[in-house]
Amino acid sequence: MVLIPTMRAVQAFEAVARCGSVTAAAEELCVSPGAISQQIHNIEEALSASLFERRGRSLTLTSWGRMYYERVRVAFDQLRLAQDTLQLARTKPGIVISSLPSLAMRWLRPLIQEWRATHPNATIRLIGTDEEAALQNDHIDFRVSYGADARKYDHFAELFIDSVVPACAPSFLAQNPVHTPADILTGPLIDIEWDIRHSTAPSWADWAQCVGEPAPKAAGEMTFSLSASGLDAAIAGGGFVLAQVSMIVEDLAAGRLVIPVDRRLSMPEPYFLAWDRAALDRPFGTDFRTFVLTAARRQASLSTGREQAPAPARFAKKTARAG
């Protein structure tokens, strides 16, 4: 049976060999020189080998000691590296968040700018991707997912259930006035395709049924696989788009989009925020999660219409003067 020295004995040996004396090793390990000497005695007894030659007050490694130290040194270097890596990961001020691309561009980006205003020392990396992250393995702290994808993670919370609503550019509406929902359904329609792994979002046919009109006879004149691209097409005057409310709040406030008929349909599933548990132990991690969850509650009110989206700035100014 091989007797393995205790960790304390090996640690004392490594410190003496590296520092060159019992006194220096004792200071580094915050113990007495007598305790170090006792551990050296223990490890030599366990290994049945003399590891140091004692020359007065100094210690020199024997040939056995040098052989043993070479392997022990590598192991302790790895332990110190692991500790430094962990400490750096726990104290770094950066946050990495992964999200579905369009939600990253349209909902998270403005939120991050708002949060950074009160956390100027924090850095954030925002990754827009449809691929679900492995979080810790991919060095990602937070992931915004949709529907059942969130259940792949150990820690997650519901954000909000979004709604879709017809939207278009003000200039387009001026040229294509809307008096009834039918006017929208006979105009140029923009379609957005969803990933097949997700529940299908409400379509123009669903919206037509909601407002008591027949479904459009033709598919949309333009179809996009990315929601953000469909919204950009609408902003450019390409037609009406069934827009997710979460993605057009800024555009409504800036007057880039308007809602000609405010009849909303709920999305079939909610968005979720997932996180790596270790992210909450680092600076800003818990604060960021709380901020996003709070913003999601506000977004839930906007999406359902319980709270009105901000009016365009020029309209707000006119209203203020009128009052």
In the 3-class helix/strand/coil scheme, how is the chain assigned residue by residue?
Answer: CCCCCCHHHHHHHHHHHHHCCHHHHHHHHCCCHHHHHHHHHHHHHHHCCCCEEEECCEEEECHHHHHHHHHHHHHHHHHHHHHHHHHHHHHCCEEEEEECHHHHHHHHHHHHHHHHHHCCCCEEEEEECCCCCCHHHHCCCEEEEEHHHHHHCCCEEEEECCEEEEEECHHHHHHCCCCCHHHHHCCCEEEECCCCCCCCCCCHHHHHHHCCCCCCCCCCCEEECCHHHHHHHHHCCCCEEEEEHHHCHHHHHHCCCECCCCCCEECCCCEEEEECHHHHHCCCHHHHHHHHHHHHHHHHHHHHCCCCCCCCHHHHHHHHHHC
Residue type, 171: S
State the pLDDT at residue 222.
84
Q: How far apart are the C-alpha atoms of 194 and 100, rounded to whole Å?
A: 12
110 or 137: whose pLDDT is higher? 110
Q: Provide the CATH number for the domain formed by 92-161+270-304 in this structure.
A: 3.40.190.10
The residues spanned by each domain of the chain are 7-90, 92-161+270-304, 163-268
How does 42-56 read in b/e, with b if 16+ C-beta sit within 10 Å?
A: bbbeebeeebbeeee
Residue 46 has pLDDT above 60, yes or no: yes
Contact of 13 with 50, CB cutoff 8 Å: no
- Top CATH class, 163-268: alpha beta
State the pLDDT at residue 91.
56
Please report which confidence band the pLDDT of residue 271 belongs to, taking 50, 70 and 90 as the band edges. Answer: very high
Residue 58 has pLDDT above 90, yes or no: no
Contact of 255 with 314, CB cutoff 8 Å: yes
Q: What is the arithmetic mean of pLDDT over 220-234?
A: 88
State the pLDDT at residue 136.
77
Name the nearest CA neighbour of 129 among 163, 105, 156.
105
What is the pLDDT of the chain when averaged over all its residues? 88
Kindly state the percentage of the chain with pLDDT values over 90.
67
CA distances in angstroms from 143 to 125, 156, 202, 270, listed in the order given: 12, 9, 24, 14
Of 12-21, 88-97, 113-122, 168-177, which range is least confident? 88-97
Name the nearest CA neighbour of 100 among 125, 139, 126, 122.
126
State the pLDDT at residue 1.
59
Please report which confidence band the pLDDT of residue 57 belongs to, taking 50, 70 and 90 as the band edges. Answer: low
82 or 22: whose pLDDT is higher? 22
State the pLDDT at residue 183.
95
CA distances in angstroms from 308 to 25, 132, 136, 187, 321, listed in the order given: 68, 32, 38, 26, 21
Highest mean pLDDT among 10-19, 156-165, 215-224: 156-165
201 or 118: whose pLDDT is higher? 118
Distance between first and last Cα of the chain: 92
How does 197-206 read in b/e, with b if 16+ C-beta sit within 10 Å?
A: ebeebbbbee
Residue 54 has pLDDT above 50, yes or no: yes
Residue 15 has pLDDT above 60, yes or no: yes
Residue 120 has pLDDT above 50, yes or no: yes
Look-up: residue for tokens 């008929």?
261
State the pLDDT at residue 89.
59
User: With a threshold of 0.95, does the pTM exceed it?
Assistant: no
State the pLDDT at residue 40.
92
Name the nearest CA neighbour of 164 among 301, 262, 234, 254.
262
- Is there a common fold for 92-161+270-304 and 163-268? yes
- Top CATH class, 7-90: mainly alpha
State the pLDDT at residue 308.
75
Q: What is the arithmetic mean of pLDDT over 316-321?
A: 36
Q: What is the arithmetic mean of pLDDT over 149-160?
A: 94
Residue pLDDT, tens place only, 71-110: 999 998 888 888 766 666 565 668 899 999 999 999 999 9
State the pLDDT at residue 217.
77
Q: What is the arithmetic mean of pLDDT over 104-122?
A: 92
What's the half-sphere exposure (Cβ side, CA atoms, 13 Å) at 238?
18
